[in-house]
Amino acid sequence: MSIISPAIKSYMKLRLSAIDNFALNPIDTQKQVFNHLVGSAQFTEYGKQYDFEHINSIREFKQRVPVNDYDSLKPYIQKILEGQQNVLWADPINWFAKSSGTTSDKSKFIPVSKDSLDDTHFKSGKDVLSLYLRQFPQSSMMNGKCLTIGGSHQVNQLNADSFYGDLSAVMLQNMPFMGQVMRAPELSVALMDEWEAKLEAMIYSVFHENITFIAGVPTWTLVLIKRILEIAGEKDLHKIWPNLELYIHGGVSFTPYRSQFAELIPSENMRYMETYNASEGFFAAQDNINEEGMLLFLNHGIFFEFMPMEEYGKDHPETLGLREVETGKNYALVISTNGGLWRYLVGDTVQFTSTEPYRIRVSGRLKHYINAFGEEVIVDNSDHAIAEASRITGAVVNDYTAAPVYMSGSENGAHEWIIEFEYLPVPLETFTAEMDKALQKINSDYEAKRHKDIALRMPIVHRMPKGGFNTWLKSKGKLGGQHKVPRLSNERKHLEEILHFL
C-alpha cells in the first residue's frame, strides 16, 4: 500500500476540482444530471410511457411523472428480474441490491446498473476519501487498509445473466482492483454469509493488518471492536491498530454511539466522518468533520427533489428544487437515478444545514416516527434525548425502540420504550426522567402533550438484557451488518413482538 499510496493521493486531488465545481455551480450541475437521465431513458419502456422524448423542462417532468415508492415501481422491476431489459434504464441491468429495510419481512430489489456502480457508488467512495485528505493532507491513512464491515456478502443468481445480494455484496463483486487492494478482510472471509462465524473469522483475518480506517454501521462496528479487544485483552483499539485514524459511519445516527467509540478509542487523533448512502444511491458526505451536515453529491448520477412534509401522503405531492429549500425544515427525499428509479421516495427525511454549499443531515424516516397524539417525535429527537440523558446520568445505551401506548379508560397515552444499556449507573427511573426532560426541551409538540400529563404521561421504559436486540434480530434471521432495530414506530407491531420475545 505504501508503494501505490502516492498515486492514489494524486488521483484524489483531481477529484477535488470536480467536487468544487458542483458545489459552486449546484443548479446548473443538477440540470445537466437531469437532462442526461431523461435523455438516456427516453426510449425505455418507462420513458415511452411518460413521453420522456418530449420533456423539455424539470417542470414538465414533475407534471408527467408521478412520485413513486417501491410498490409502484415493482411491476417494472419484476420485468427486469425476469430478464427483460430497457424497462427503466437503457443500459443492461444485471445486478440487484436486495434491501430488507430494518426488520421488515419484505425484500426490495433495487436495480443496479454499471452507471450507478461507477458514477454513483464508486465515485462517491473516492470522493469521501478525497474530502478527508483535503482536511488532513498529512494523513498516512492511504498507507494502510480499510476494515469494511458490510452486511452479508452472499451473491445469489437469478438467471444466466443476473445476480442479487445486499449492496455490499454487489459492490464487492464489481469493485475495481484498487478498491480490492485497499480493503480488508480477505475475500474468502468477506463472502461468508453466516454472521456470527463471519465475525470471528473477520477478527482473526484483520488482527495483524495495518488498519488505518474503518467503514460500517456503528452497531456492528462496536460489536466487532469489543470482541477484538476481548480477544486481545486490551481496552484501547490503538493498542492493536496504532495507525487507525478514521471511522466512516452511516446508516443510523452516530449520536447515541459517540461516547462508546470515545471509550474504546480514547484518542484525540481519532476522527469520525459521516456519509449518507443506501442501496438506491450515495447521496452525501461530510466535507468538514468538525461541522454537522454532509455535502450533497450533485454530480453523481442522481437528480434530487425535496418534498415538504405537509405534502407527504397526497395524491399529487409538490416537490421543491434546490433553489426553493430552506435550512432547518424537514423534507422527504425524492430521487431519480442512473439505475432507473424515477421520482423515487427513498423513505428518509432530511434537513438542510446550509445552502451555500448545499449540506444536509438525515433527520429520520417517513415511517419511523411517533405521532399518535400530535407530538411529531422523529428519530432525530429521540437520538438526542437518549444522548442527553446518557450524558447527564453517565449511562451508555446500545440500542432502543419505542412506540405509542394509546389512551384507554381513565389512563392517558404514553410512549413505551425498550432500551438496551451497556452501562446504567443510576436507577432506570432517573434515566427515564432525564430522557423525558430532554425530549420536551427539543420538541415543543411533545412538551405540550406532556404538560401536566394532559395527553401523555411519563414514558414507560423496559430494560432489554445486554445483547437482547441482537438475539431478537437473529431469531428473525436478520443478524448482520445492514439490519437495524427500528428506532420509532407509530404502531406497536415491533414493540409487541419484542416484548413477547422478552
Q: In the predicted model, what is the mean pLDDT of the chain? A: 89
**Average pLDDT score over residue span 99-107:** 49
The tens digit of pLDDT for each residue in 422-450 reads 999 999 999 999 999 999 998 878 987 89
Residue 101: what pLDDT?
43
Backbone angles phi, psi at 120, to 5 degrees: -110, -70
Say which residue, 152 or 457, is predicted with more confidence.
Answer: 457
Say which residue, 493 or 353, is predicted with more confidence.
Answer: 353
Question: Is the preceding omega at residue 185 within 30 degrees of 0, hence cis?
Answer: yes
The tens digit of pLDDT for each residue in 395-421 reads 999 999 999 998 665 678 899 999 999
CA distance 334 to 325: 13
Q: Give the pLDDT band (50/70/90) at residue 103.
A: very low
Give the strand pairing for 369-370 and 377-378.
antiparallel
Residue 16 grid cell: 477535488
**Average pLDDT score over residue span 5-10:** 65
**Average pLDDT score over residue span 458-478:** 89
Residue 102: what pLDDT?
37
Residue 203: what pLDDT?
87
Residue 6 has pLDDT above 70, yes or no: no
Residue 105 has pLDDT above 50, yes or no: no
Residue 57: what pLDDT?
97
In sequence order, what are the residues at sequence separation of 6 or more whose Cβ sits closer than 8 angstroms to the Cβ of residue 98? 107, 108, 109, 110, 164, 165, 166, 279
Q: Give the pLDDT band (50/70/90) at residue 7.
A: low
Residue 479 has pLDDT above 80, yes or no: no
Residue 104 has pLDDT above 50, yes or no: no
In sequence order, what are the residues at sequence separation of 6 or more whose Cβ sits closer than 8 angstroms to the Cβ of residue 364? 330, 348, 349, 378, 379, 380, 488
Residue 81 has pLDDT above 80, yes or no: yes
The tens digit of pLDDT for each residue in 374-384 reads 787 888 899 99
Residue 14 has pLDDT above 70, yes or no: yes
CA 207 to mean position of chain CA atoms: 27
Say which residue, 152 or 385, is predicted with more confidence.
Answer: 385
* Percent of all residues in the chain with a pLDDT value above 70, rounded to a whole number: 93
The number of helices, as runs of H, and strands, as runs of E, in the chain is: 18, 20
Paired with 110 in beta bridges are 97
**Average pLDDT score over residue span 216-222:** 80
When mean pLDDT is compared across 70-74, 258-262, 264-268, the lowest value belongs to 258-262
Residue 217: what pLDDT?
80
CA 290 to mean position of chain CA atoms: 20
CA-based nearest residue to 203, from 187, 189, 188, 217: 189
Q: Is 428 exposed, middle or buried (0-12, 13-18, 19+ CB in 10 A)?
A: middle
Which helix H or strand E contains 441, and what residues bound it?
A: helix 428-442
Residue 457 has pLDDT above 80, yes or no: yes
Angle at 197 between CA 196 and CA 199, to 5 degrees: 65
Contact 269, 245 (CB under 8 A): yes
CA 286 to mean position of chain CA atoms: 13
Q: Which long-range contacts (CB under 8 A, 24 or more apart) does 404-409 make?
A: 404/370, 404/372, 404/373, 404/490, 404/491, 404/492, 405/460, 406/372, 407/455
Contact 374, 445 (CB under 8 A): yes
Dihedral (Cα; 260, 444, 325, 380), 10-degree rounding: 20
Say which residue, 481 or 328, is predicted with more confidence.
Answer: 328
Q: Tally Cβ neighbours within 10 Å of residue 360.
A: 24
Which helix H or strand E contains 190, and what residues bound it?
A: helix 187-190
Q: Give the pLDDT band (50/70/90) at residue 453.
A: confident
Q: Tally Cβ neighbours within 10 Å of residue 396.
A: 16
Residue 329: what pLDDT?
94
The tens digit of pLDDT for each residue in 106-142 reads 578 999 999 999 999 999 999 999 999 999 999 999 8
